[in-house]
Every structure is written in C-alpha cells, then in structure tokens.
C-alpha cells in the first residue's frame, strides 16, 4: 500500500505542477535534449511530418520524424506471432529505433537512465520533477495518466523495472481495450479495429488518413492508411477488411 501511496502521490504532484521533495534532485537528471530517436531513417519512404506521441497536456515538443516503408514485407516477421507483429508495427509508428528505451523527443529534461533500467516509481518521480514537458515513454509511448492507470489495473508495483516484458504487458492491455479479442474472433472488422488502434496511438492513421489527434500537441500519423492497411492485412490475412 505504501508503494502505491508513493506512486499516486507523485502522479497527483505531476497533475498539480508541484515537485515533491523526494523528486527535487535535479542534479541526477540528464538535462541534454538530444533525441533518443534518430531522425535519419535513410532507405525508407515515409509520409509522417512529425513523429507520434500519446496525447498529453502541455506538450511543446515533437518526436524526430519516424517513417514507415509501404514496401516492408511480412517476411521480416516470418517467425513472429501475429501479436508480436502487431506490437512491432505499433512500436515502429510510435518509438522508432530506440524501442523500449524511447523517450518523447520534446522532453527537455531526460530521465537519469534508460527507461528499461528504471523502476516504475523512479519514472513517476522523474515525471513529477519535470512538469511542463511531454513524458511519453517506452516502446509504446505511455503518457503518465495511461501508465498510472494501467499499472494499477494489472497490479504493477512501484519497485518493478520498466522492462521490455512489462511494457509489452501494459501494451497488451491497451490492445484488449481497443477490441483485440473481438477482432481475433471475427466480431470486429479490420477497419474498425484499425481505427480503434488509431484512437490509442497517435502515430497510427485513421481511415481518413490522418492521426485521430492530428494537430493536437503536434501529433501526426507516421504512416499512410494504405501502408497501415497493407501491414494489417499481412499480419491478419484471415480477417477481412
């Protein structure tokens, strides 16, 4: 209970803009603003002007551009499960090359260590100590409110590492909320599921071709609808559009 009181207190502090005493240790934070996600993605054809991020409050920066090739084939995923391939597609749109250690490009004050080497409580402390900047973090670019909700929902402790396994676990919860089970059973068509995914991850386009959050806090889709549709059809050929 004490750990969750710590976690919730930090989240409340974040929302109010107050930096708690335990987080007032600026000397341990890396203040370099260099992007974790490389802007040079030579050899791929893309359409996204800005990289994507979850919608967050008071966002003033952008990701370095992340682009997806329309010709990327399913052979790349030949040994991966459908779920693995779907999560890889989302991560490509959201996090780029840094994957599980990605931090939103607009964060002026970086976490003290790569996210996968931090405990959830430490990430919460970093968020609370750096108000007024974007905090989307990890392979699936969780924003603070989503991260806190999912952590409580699945019973994650504040002292657990923000490991690749934990990030995947939280992302699966978001996929379920978007209708993954219904889609897999044939009770939800592919286009509807894709639009649901785009409402969760801003880097994915809706059927209009734009991010569901286009223009909000700098959000933009990082792939075309055609590319998204081709990728989903390759991953789930048994599900008609």
For position 53, what pLDDT does the model report?
39
Determine, yes or no, domain membership for 103. yes
Q: What separation in angstroms does the CA of 176 have from each of 164, 232, 235?
A: 18, 16, 17
Determine, yes or no, domain membership for 30. no
Determine, yes or no, domain membership for 24. no
Per-residue pLDDT of 147-177, as tens digits, reads: 999 999 999 999 999 999 999 999 999 999 9
Determine, yes or no, domain membership for 39. no
For position 214, what pLDDT does the model report?
87
Per-residue pLDDT of 81-94, as tens digits, reads: 999 999 999 999 99
Instruction: Kindly indicate the confidence band of residue 9, based on its pLDDT and cuts at 50, 70 and 90.
Output: low
Determine, yes or no, domain membership for 84. yes
For position 239, what pLDDT does the model report?
81
Determine, yes or no, domain membership for 168. yes
Dihedral sign from CA coordinates of 85, 86, 89, 94: negative
Where are the extended beta strands (E) located within the chain?
Answer: none
Determine, yes or no, domain membership for 195. yes
Give percent of the chain with pLDDT exceeding 70. Answer: 66
Per-residue pLDDT of 19-75, as tens digits, reads: 443 343 332 223 233 332 222 222 222 323 333 333 443 333 333 333 334 333 334
Placement of tokens 């391939």 in the chain: 85
The pTM of this model reads 0.68
- CATH number for 141: 1.10.530.10
What domain count does the chain have? 1
Does 110 or 57 have the greater pLDDT score?
Answer: 110
């Amino acid at each position: 209970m004490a750990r969750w009181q710590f976690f919730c207190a930090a989240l409340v502090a974040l929302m109010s803009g107050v930096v708690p005493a335990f987080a007032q240790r600026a000397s341990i934070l890396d203040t370099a603003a260099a992007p974790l996600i490389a802007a040079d993605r030579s050899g791929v054809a893309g359409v996204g002007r800005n990289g994507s991020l979850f919608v967050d409050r008071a966002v003033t920066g952008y990701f370095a551009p992340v682009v997806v090739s329309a010709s990327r084939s399913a052979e790349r995923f030949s040994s991966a499960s459908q779920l693995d391939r779907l999560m890889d597609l989302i991560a490509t749109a959201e996090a780029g090359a840094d994957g599980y250690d990605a931090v939103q490009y607009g964060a002026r004050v970086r976490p003290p260590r790569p996210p996968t080497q931090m405990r959830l409580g430490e990430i919460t402390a970093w968020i609370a100590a750096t108000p007024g900047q974007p905090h989307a973090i990890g392979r699936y670019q969780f924003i603070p409110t989503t991260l806190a909700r999912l952590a409580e929902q699945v019973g994650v402790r504040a002292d657990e590492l923000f490991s690749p396994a934990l990030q995947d676990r939280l992302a699966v919860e978001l996929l379920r909320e978007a209708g993954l089970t219904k889609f897999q059973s044939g009770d939800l068509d592919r286009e509807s599921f894709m639009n649901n995914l785009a409402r969760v991850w801003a880097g994915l386009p809706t059927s209009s071709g734009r991010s569901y959050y286009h223009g909000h806090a700098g959000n933009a889709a990082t792939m075309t609808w055609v590319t998204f549709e081709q990728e989903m059809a390759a991953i789930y050929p048994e599900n008609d559009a």
